[in-house]
Structure 1
Amino acid sequence: MEDHPSYPKLSELISKYPRTAGSLFQTYNDLALAQQWEDLEVLDLPSCSRGSFRGRRPKTNDLLYVVPCSLSESLSISWFHQAFEDLGKPPHVYLAINSDDSNIVYYKLSPGIVKPPI
């Protein structure tokens, strides 16, 4: 991992939160290299003990937030509330769930109860 070109951008949070280093590294590389997000920033979520990301999909202006986690982690409603608080209460956050086989599934989370679009 240390030899990868993206490591310097993540090294501070990888050493600060080693338990979530794999999902942070995997999600960053998916967003930056595969999906080619623009203006991708690495953020610290100290109350959730992990890093997260803010950026834009290609050719869009919407600022999006992504919080990586592992499929094996147990998360709570209070954890989600704290993530929204730490990120400045955005309208929604994408939870990037990483599995051991390198798959990532993104779930769009919104605070409260939100009626789905028709």
Structure 2
Amino acid sequence: MTRVVDDDASKEEGSSAPLRAHVHLHPQLPPSRQSLPSELLRLARAHPDQAAPLVRTWEDLLFVGKWKHLRPIDLNAAAALASASHPARSLAALVGLRAEQNVQEVVLPCHVHHEWSAEDFTHIFASTRHLSASPSSTSDAQASAAAAQLQDESKSEKVPLIAQEYFLLAVLSNDSTVVYYKLARGLVKPVN
């Protein structure tokens, strides 16, 4: 539970005004989260294990990272187009454009205690191959709430392609910190 101090009470010294508690219910989202895009809320409810990381990562990318063209996607829709050899796994992700980048990136939110396998990553890479740069395709057309924002932003600029060689794993820790790991397909030469 996170406690938030009432602004009016904190200004008065010696005030006995109670602290207002803000509880993040899982998988149901608190009323303060109702202003989020409906597609994000739908995916948070459809993927309860990812609900908190999905919403927290959305907020981090949008408000702190200032990402553009940000939209939630259901990787299962893309997985339906992927090879049947990969097991279907219920996953939600975010796709967007980081500031100063020329390619959109897939961000997969998860909890720090989530366990991944090589098969999981194979499935994710197979799914990302079938995503389109705009939400108008059949693989991620359900992102209608984010589509309006995307259309407004893309009137003056072309929507960039989605990175296929890597994705970002957004790991939410117990203290609400989000750490991003870049996972690439195959072997990658180190920077140094």
TM-score, reference length from structure 2:
0.57
Give a deviation string over 1:21-70, Cα, whole Å, max 9, x none.
Answer: 01111111101111110001111122332210111112432211111111
Structure 2 counterpart of 1:78, one-letter code: E
Matched residue, 2:126: 85
Does structure 2 retain, via aligned residues, the 8 Å contact 1:27–1:68?
yes
Does structure 2 retain, via aligned residues, the 8 Å contact 1:66–1:94?
yes
Structure 1 counterpart of 2:96, one-letter code: G
Structure number with bigger Rg: 2
Does structure 2 retain, via aligned residues, the 8 Å contact 1:6–1:29?
no
TM-score, reference length from structure 1:
0.90
Equivalent residue for 2:47, pick from 4, 14, 17 = 17
Q: How far did residue 2 of structure 1 move?
A: 4.0
Matched residue, 2:99: 58
Q: Which has the higher strand share?
A: 1
Separation in 1 of the partners of 2:175 and 2:39?
23
Any gaps of 5 or more consecutive residues in structure 1? Answer: none
Identity of counterpart residues, as a percentage? 31
Matched residue, 2:5: none
How many residues get paired?
Answer: 118
Separation in 2 of the partners of 1:2 and 1:109?
34
Matched residue, 2:117: 76
Q: 1:48 to 1:26 in 2, by over 3 A?
A: farther
Does structure 2 retain, via aligned residues, the 8 Å contact 1:67–1:94?
yes
RMSD: 1.6
Q: How far did residue 6 of structure 1 move?
A: 1.8
Any gaps of 5 or more consecutive residues in structure 2? Answer: 1-29, 77-87, 131-163
Matched residue, 2:170: 96
Separation in 1 of the partners of 2:37 and 2:89?
21
Matched residue, 1:107: 181
Residues 53-62 or 24-33, more deviating: 53-62
Separation in 2 of the partners of 1:61 and 1:110?
18
Separation in 2 of the partners of 1:114 and 1:57?
21
